[in-house]
A and B are shown apart, each in its own frame.
Chain A
Amino acid sequence: MLFNSLHFAIFFPIVAGLYFLCPYRYRWVLLLVASYYFYMAWIPVYALLLLASTVLDYTTGLMMGRTESKAARRKYLYLSLAGNLGLLFFFKYYNFFNDSMRAVCEHFSLTYRMPESHLLLPVGISFYTFQTLGYAIDVYRGVVKPERHPGIFALYVSFFPQLVAGPIERASNLLPQFRRTFDFDYQRVTDGLKLMAWGLFKKVVIADRVAVIVDYVYMHPQNHEGPGLALATLFFAWQIYCDFSGYSDIAIGAAKVMGFTLMKNFDRPYWSRSLQELWRRWHISLMTWFRDYVFYSLGGTRKSLARVALNLLIVFSITGLWHGAKWTFVIWGLGHGVLLVVSLLTRDVRQKVAAVLRLDRIPRLHAVWQVGVTFFMFYYVGVFFRARSVGDALYILKHLFIGWSDPFRGLGFKEFVFSIGFRTIEDFHIAVLAIIVLETVHYLQSRGPLRPRLAQKPVWFRWALYYATLLVILGYGVFNDSPFIYFQF
């Protein structure tokens, strides 16, 4: 079920209403049933995978809790890892592995006869697999106690607001919340609804609108030159951000309406002044997962510089692979790893250059420069994330800077806009205006939380803003039930 569908618009108010009417002791049952219904609205049979993951980690968690022996606990952890990663490999990476092996064998003129899998990737498998894996590792490390209530644990794995695209919640944050009793709280409910509306704005007004031209240009990049490729890539930067952070906002808002607090997943990443900062503000739940369970396990920053660099490359390659079973994603992740290593190695030099140039005297200009460079690096490597193949990505990177002497290819601006896939010139204007609104809000957020400041405004101002937001979503949103990009991960 998509958050931007009529189905969800009916489903959510019913579930939230029943939730507050339901006696506290049965609420977990209601949420569990609702969550499985939510998941089964896609391909019902894939709920069995969710169940299998739940049973596996519930059991291994209990078994780890019953023994003091580290060796035995490690055995159960390996069982959980093998089971979860096995499922993930089979459904997500099998064909990738198969194709890569076939290519290698063909290169050496060897026969390779493994059949292809025609199974569809189960929605959200990477998210719930990582959430349950995080639980198993935390239980192994003794960070959390094993959950004994099977229903509560099943709800932890399947909680519908964050089931298919996160945030990937930690057991220590989410599990205890299922034992709390939340009453109807006006402030919390309205805050949650406002966040959902903001997420919907990002998704349907920005992400889905610019998706048209991104898809169009990236389908046949060879038909376009620098300006078209650059504009599509620029729009892609906002498409991916608005699509995913929009989903996260709706998820966090929906949970908040019912009283639950999910972790923040994005924090104005494009305002970051370095790539390290950007990665602390982008898909926070996944990046902290990799930090805590992979990077620290490899030694983190306590090792030598060379080892830290290697750890970064490993973690970011896995991050890329997590996003998709294609070499483009691996290169995207590795690209960011390399940039981070370079950034780490040149930190002292850059600081010295800044001191020599006395950039501290012009802090704003320095900040704009840093934000610009950081965004450009993210933007440039992002081509691999969106391109359909490594060949396409290389073509785009090579041609981004070609053809600028006649940017509109002699067509005039309007025709140029049509040639890159916009249906009307108004679509282009709406997309640009909406992005300006988004970044203005981000700027205001950078000066402190918006809610208290908004609450101080007169009631007519606030309601004019709410009406305007609603009408903009209704009037300028793209409502074609397009799925969220991160569902495929």
Chain B
Amino acid sequence: MIRRSSTSNSDPDAKSADLRRFLRKLLLVVPVVFFVAGVNVYVDPGGVFHRGQEKQIAKYLLEGDNVANVYNHDDRQGLRYYVEGLKEKKDILVFGSSRTMVVDSEFFPGERLFNASVTAGTLRDVVVNYELFHEKGLVPRKVVIGIEPYMLNGAFDNKLYLEDAYRRALARLGLPVVESTPFWSRVVDRRYAQLLAPAYFQVSVRNLDKVIALGRPQPCPTKEFEVDTQMARADGSLNYGKARRTRDAAEIRRKAERFTLRNPEELANFRVLDLNLRRMFETFASSLLEEGVEVIFLMAPYHPITYRMMLDNQAFRCVGEAKDYFEAYAAQHHIPVYGSYDAGACGVAENDFYDAVHLSRQALLRVFRAGPRNT
């Protein structure tokens, strides 16, 4: 039994008057909330609230155009629209993350390639995006998988993959659905969390004048091979904007150094190679091989400073374990492995990077042309 002493206001009228007063004052904060939401929706630097770009981009790509002014669109949705409109098979499909987005047709001369890599692509994305092609009977001859160590980190799931296709893919592969998204995020579109997000508000404010003067950047079809803005090429590859392509060595180095200071979200709490993800990877890769698809693993190098951080820091020891696991799997199934996380082993230098984790197209092409490491 708890004996209590009271510091409460014994007058119920005074209590409710206090509450009413508080709620009235709370209403005065509402304009700030509306202001933040209004600026975020109006500027919308990430294209969260102004949908429609994805369909437009997919349409241009299907028509064989490159698309300039491609910023922060939902590339997973864009891929879905693209596959819906695709009529014929590609010879080669590339799946992975932003680190493999620069792989283009020049990597495989004479073959029809489409790069289906998505921003922050996870193993689930690889499986789901392949499923989109598979469902339409557009099974390619060859699949390039951009192998990322974090693909086996059970503690990381950005939950951006296409949920419906994910369930269908697992059903086809005979795998149980391991629920990774909480119920509320399946009911409410999680991108709407940006409505009141302070970080989103700050980017919106920075771009407010530009949007007022020029409007939001619109995707624009072009036949140019390289433009100043970020561009999606007709083969699905990404051409970074001029500002990123022309970064000087000091800035690239600073970016890599800053990257090592934070705990990268995708590698946080990476303590074991997740069993479910391993099972998913093995089942998926086996199914590709059983379908007669030639599989290639691509390990895009990390900036030397980033790689050193991964080697030196005990918290990232699973990066090495994941690399060994993928290489062992490749050896066992005679899968060629191109590249290495270690830039030094691939002969690329600091200046070949755009930042801490993204290698330039030319450098990655060089790595690719050097051939597989395990044959």
Contact = CB atoms under 8 A, between A and B. Distances in A.
Interface of A: 6, 24-25, 28, 118, 149, 152, 176, 179-186, 189-190, 212, 215-216, 219-220, 259, 418, 421, 463, 467, 470-471, 473-477, 479-480
A463 B21 CA distance: 15
A181 B21 contact: no
B201 A474 contact: yes
A180 B261 contact: no
B29 A179 contact: no
B5 interface: yes
B50 interface: no
A467 B33 CA distance: 11
A182 B7 CA distance: 6
10 contacts: A179-B4, A180-B7, A183-B9, A190-B22, A190-B25, A421-B254, A421-B258, A470-B32, A475-B201, A479-B199
A181 B7 contact: yes
B184 to A, nearest CB: 10
* Pairs A-B, 7 closest by C-beta atoms: A183-B8, A186-B18, A215-B261, A479-B199, A479-B198, A474-B198, A181-B6
Contact of B198 (A24, A189, A477): A477
Interface string B327-368: 000000000000000000000000000000000000000000
Interface in B1-57: 2-9, 15, 18-19, 21-22, 25, 28-29, 32, 36
A43 to B, nearest CB: 8
A181 B8 contact: yes
B29 A470 contact: yes
A149 B2 contact: yes
A186 B21 CA distance: 7
B3 A479 contact: no
Contacts of B32: 467, 470-471, 474
Contacts of A184: 15, 18-19, 22
A477 B197 CA distance: 11
A152 B7 contact: no
Given A181-B4, A184-B19, A475 B260 contact: no
B249 to A, nearest CB: 14
Given A185-B9, A219-B261, A463-B28, A28 B2 contact: yes
A477 B198 CA distance: 8
A421 B314 CA distance: 25
Contacts of A189: 22
B205 interface: yes
Interface in B121-143: none
A477 B201 CA distance: 11
A212 B32 CA distance: 28
B36 A474 contact: yes
A345 to B, nearest CB: 41
Given A180-B5, A186-B18, A212 B257 contact: no
A112 B8 CA distance: 62
Contacts, number: 79
Contacts of B181: none
A467 B25 CA distance: 12
A389 to B, nearest CB: 13
B186 interface: no
B202 interface: yes
Contact of B2 (A179, A470, A471): A179
Nearest to A4: B198
A220 B8 contact: no
A186 B22 contact: yes
A25 B15 contact: no
Given A6-B193, A152-B2, A216-B258, 17 more contacts: A118-B271, A180-B6, A181-B4, A181-B8, A182-B7, A182-B8, A183-B7, A184-B15, A185-B18, A212-B258, A216-B261, A421-B254, A474-B202, A475-B202, A477-B198, A479-B199, A480-B262
Nearest to B317: A118
Contacts of A470: 29, 32
B43 to A, nearest CB: 13
B258 A480 contact: no
A179 B3 contact: yes
A186 B15 CA distance: 9
A179 B9 CA distance: 16
A184 B15 CA distance: 7
A467 B35 CA distance: 11
Nearest to A6: B193
Contacts of A467: 32
A476 B32 CA distance: 15
Contacts of B193: 6
A24 B7 CA distance: 12
A440 B264 CA distance: 36
A181 B2 CA distance: 11
Given A219-B257, A219-B261, A474-B201, A118 B6 contact: no
A25 B32 CA distance: 37
B158 to A, nearest CB: 14
Nearest to B17: A186
B299 to A, nearest CB: 26
A6 B193 CA distance: 9
A228 to B, nearest CB: 13
A181 B197 CA distance: 36
Nearest to A95: B314
